[in-house]
Structures are given as structure tokens and as C-alpha cells.
Amino acid sequence: MKRYWLLFSQTVTVLLALWFVVATLKPHWLARRPALSGLVPVLEVSPDVRGGAVAANSLSQAAKAAAPAVVSIRASKTTPNPHADEPWFRDLFGNDADDLVPQTGLGSGVIVSPQGYILTNNHVIEGADDIMVQLSDGRQAPARVIGTDPDTDLAVLRIDLPDLPVIVLGRSESLEIGDRVLAIGNPFGVGQTVTAGIVSALGRTHLGLNTFENFIQTDAAINPGNSGGALVDAEGHLVGINTAIYSRSGGSMGIGFAIPMATARDVMEAIVRDGAVTRGWIGVEPQELSPELAEHFGVPRARGVIVTGVLKGGPADQAGIRPGDVITRVDDTPVRDVQGLLAAVAALRPGQPASLEIQRRDGTQRLTVVPGRRPNPQHLAR
């Protein structure tokens, strides 16, 4: 009996010693886990895996790559004082009062080449007497205007500074709805700001903002001062130039628009090469083909754009186009709406004959037109 008791006490002593060692060195082995019913599958994520998931979803690398090339633009100009000719103004301030009022506007831009070329919006620098550019590293430099294109609301500036950060140009043609994007700019003059969102829509037209429209729509917050800034993809590549917002309050409401890089690249190259963008023009007033217009002019309700006016002596007039004609094709490009017609005609080379397919009461005809050079918007307005 004494032998059994001794064996029992030695066993208990060893077990207690083992428990003490485990409790001291590996206490988590003794932690109790809640019982699982086995009916619900459970996925446990280790801290390392969770950290990797956060890093994979972060856009910090894209922001670091693109942000240094985004600049703040301060454009100053003087405008006539609207009260300068009023007697009370002279009585109050005297004859030495300034007839001109200084105005300053804020915007953004993107450095696109080591030579100092900057892409921005035309409305950011339009009419400016003095343009100052500030880089994200604090350096400042005056900018000169290389050229502007009001039809797309784009402008190219240039600054002279060494060691400029340059953004990588992306391919807006590869964007898809749902892709993540960043908007980088200087909203409200508070300093460089990065906002994130997705591509909400592509090919937005009929907004009445520009003559040639093909906007990227995004819900990344774009506010006043962001105009001319960068819209970049998840790799930090420039895919658009932020241009406008839809807003009832003046601030972001989740609907912003950017000019795609495919358009901006063509405009930039033309401005740097020629100082301006050359587009074709035929001198017609187009309108969407509604059922009422089709019935009025007696033409089929097919796709196309109806001509409601022709400039006397212009290229279309010389080619025999008249009001009521429906343009359905420009060379090999089918025409579906007014924006499509404008784009197809703009792509024509001035002085080079092109064919137009039109619909009339008596059927389809093909006419040859020699496009001219598209006048500037101010001349067209007059």
C-alpha cells in the first residue's frame, strides 16, 4: 500500500511540475477557446496575412509616384473696375483710384516632361497676365503659355527649373468602369490633396462644357482648385486631367469629370509641335435627328445628324450640302450624333478632300468636301 501511495505522489508531483513549466513558458497553450458548433465555417486570419491584405489594397504607392509631379497654379489678371465710370466712385475714392481690379485664381497642373511642360485646364490660366507655379517640394517658378485649346479646355505651360519630377503617362483607353483612381490637386488652396474613388462612367458627352467632350466620370472628390490636376490609376499613371464637377453646393457631390489622357496627349503634342491644334471644319450647323425633324425634311429616321444651317461660301456649301441633309458618314467613320460628327470632321486634314455620305428625300448620295481649318471658338461665336 505504501508503495502505491509513493507512486501516486510521485506522479502528481511530476504532473504539477509539468503544469508549472507550461504555465510559465507557454501560457497560451492553456488558454481556453470557445467551443464551436461546427455548423459555421470559420476563417482565422493571422496578423501577417491581415497586414498583407491592407498593403495590397493601399494606394499609397500610386500617390507617392504621382503627387510630386502635380503642381499648384496661381494665375493673376486685372479686369476693368465696373464702377470706375460712375460719379459716386470718383467722389468717394478720387481721380487716382485704380480703374483695374486685380484678380487671382487657383488651379492645378501636371508636369509631363523633364523639359518643364505642364498640362492644365485652359480655364485655369485664361486671360492671365502672370502665372506662378509651385511644386510640391516648395519651389516656385513663373510659367509661360505655350498654347491653349479652348475646344477641349486644355493648355500647355512651361517652367524652367532643374530636376523636375515627371509623371508617367497612362492609357485612358484601358480604363474600365470600377477601376480605382486618385484625384490629386490643390482644392480651395489648402495644399496638395489626394482623394480616392473609382471610374463611374466613360465617354460622357452632351454636358455642354467643351466643344469636344469624352469625359471620364469619377466619384473621387474634385473641388474648386482641383481643375487641371491629375487623375491617376492604381499604379500612379496619369489617365486624365480633372476639369469639372457637378454640384449644387460648389463642393464635391461625387460626380467629377476628367479629360482622358488619349485626348490630352494629342492636344499636348500638337501644341508643343505647332503652337496650336489644327482641326478640320466644313461650316455646317448640325442638330440631332429627331423624329419631328426627320418628318419635316422628309428623310428616313436613320442614324445620323441633320444639317439645319450651312455657312454661305464655306466648304460644305461649296460641296453642295444644304439644310435638311442628314450626314451619316464622314469618310469611313459612321456618324451617330453631333459629337460624333464634330469629332470626325475635326480629324480631317484641312485642304485634303474627304467624302460625306448624306441622306435626302431622293436617297443616299456621296459628296466630296474639302475641309478648311477650324476657326477659334471666339470667331465661331461671332
**Residue 205, domain CATH:** 2.40.10.10
Which residues does the annotation mark as catalytic?
Answer: 123, 153, 227
What CATH number should be reported for the domain holding residue 330?
Answer: 2.30.42.10
One domain for residues 181 and 139: no
One domain for residues 137 and 200: no
One domain for residues 267 and 304: no
Q: What is the pLDDT of residue 248?
A: 61
Residues 150-179 have pLDDT tens digits of 988 999 999 999 999 999 999 888 889 999
> Which of 131, 158, 185 represents a domain boundary (last residue)?
158
200 part of a folded domain = yes
Q: Number of folded domains in the chain?
A: 3
> Which of 128, 158, 188 represents a domain boundary (last residue)?
158
Q: What is the pLDDT of residue 221?
A: 84
One domain for residues 287 and 241: no
One domain for residues 260 and 287: no
Strands 154-158 and 180-185: unpaired
One domain for residues 269 and 176: yes
One domain for residues 284 and 372: yes
Q: What is the pLDDT of residue 81?
A: 54
74 part of a folded domain = yes
24 part of a folded domain = no
Q: Which residues of the chain have pLDDT under 70?
A: 1-5, 20-56, 79-103, 247-253, 297-302, 377-382
31 part of a folded domain = no
11 part of a folded domain = no
Report the candidate in 126, 194, 181 with the shortest Cα–Cα distance to residue 155. Answer: 126
19 part of a folded domain = no
One domain for residues 262 and 329: no
> Which of 226, 251, 274 represents a domain boundary (last residue)?
274
Q: What is the pLDDT of residue 22?
A: 65
Q: What is the pLDDT of residue 342?
A: 86
One domain for residues 324 and 243: no
- Find the domain containing 105 and state its range: 64-158
One domain for residues 263 and 348: no
